[in-house]
Amino acid sequence: MFRFFVLLYGLAAYAVFVISAVLLAMHLATTSDASLDWNTANITIDVGLLALFYFPHSIMARQWFKRWWSRIVPDVLERSTYVLVSAVLLIVLTIAWRDLPGSLWSAEEPWAVVSIRIAAALCFVLIVASSWSTRESDLFGVRRVWLFHRSRPHDPPLFLNQRSLYRFVRHPMMTGLIGLLWLTPTMSWNRFAFVLAGTVYIVIATEFEERDLIRQFGEQYTRYRNRVPRFVPRSIAGTPVDEIEG
């Protein structure tokens, strides 16, 4: 019975994540009403909502929090709980967000709009390809609860898959996400506020994540970090595997 509950919980957490992603996409796609006035109260609320999402999302990803959290939540549900909490906070963010007036820029030429859309689509492909490099089902906790339900051992994926996209940049998923957030024909102030906060968060969060990875992989990750860029590849060929491993 417990194994079935674990499976149901993991699938429910993933379903809530999908809902939050759809709501976020709808939120970012909306244009702001230019007739609105800049309101200090609305700006304060939006900043508070961003903090409400980003701070717990970052803290729950830290190893010290996971060690403490494992005393309360079963280890098999740790990832699914992280996904669920993040998704619920994202839903609160998108629903409670106070609109900001106007747009920062708007591309009107058809060729510019098409070019931006194509570039954004390529960023989305990069996100999907990166998730498969680390096994998407592991990323969202689904595979772990499924294996537990089937009474099979869970083998965590190795992060340092140096023959994949990770030989080009250390965080290919974040590279794609940053590009996808910024590449839009119309940048409303609503989207700009979220995108700017998200970009700053990604830069800071990846720095903390890499400190955890250095503790986990030791000299192997330090060498990898010194030879592979974080977000922007040095060349289209990527860093040679023998250079990473040597």
Q: What is the pLDDT of residues 169-221, one digit of tens each?
A: 888 888 998 998 899 888 888 888 888 988 988 898 888 888 878 887 888 88
* Average pLDDT score over residue span 126-147: 74
pLDDT in tens, 78-133: 888 988 999 999 899 889 988 777 788 888 899 998 999 899 889 888 888 887 76
Number of domains in the chain: 1
| pTM of structure | 0.76
Do residues 146 and 7 lie in contact, with contact meaning Cβ atoms separated by under 8 Å? yes
pLDDT at 167 over 90: no
SS3 string, 106-126, reads ECCCHHHHHHHHHHHHHHHHH
pLDDT in tens, 25-60: 777 776 665 556 677 888 888 889 988 988 888 888
Average pLDDT for the chain = 82
Q: What CATH code is carried by the domain that includes residue 195?
A: 1.20.120
pLDDT in tens, 12-26: 998 998 898 888 877
The predicted structure's pLDDT at residue 111: 92
Burial 4-38 (b: 16+ CB within 10 A, else e): eebbebbbebbebbeebeebbeebbeeebeeeeee
pLDDT at 159 over 90: no
The predicted structure's pLDDT at residue 78: 86
Do residues 137 and 146 lie in contact, with contact meaning Cβ atoms separated by under 8 Å? yes
| Enclosing domain of residue 44 | 2-245
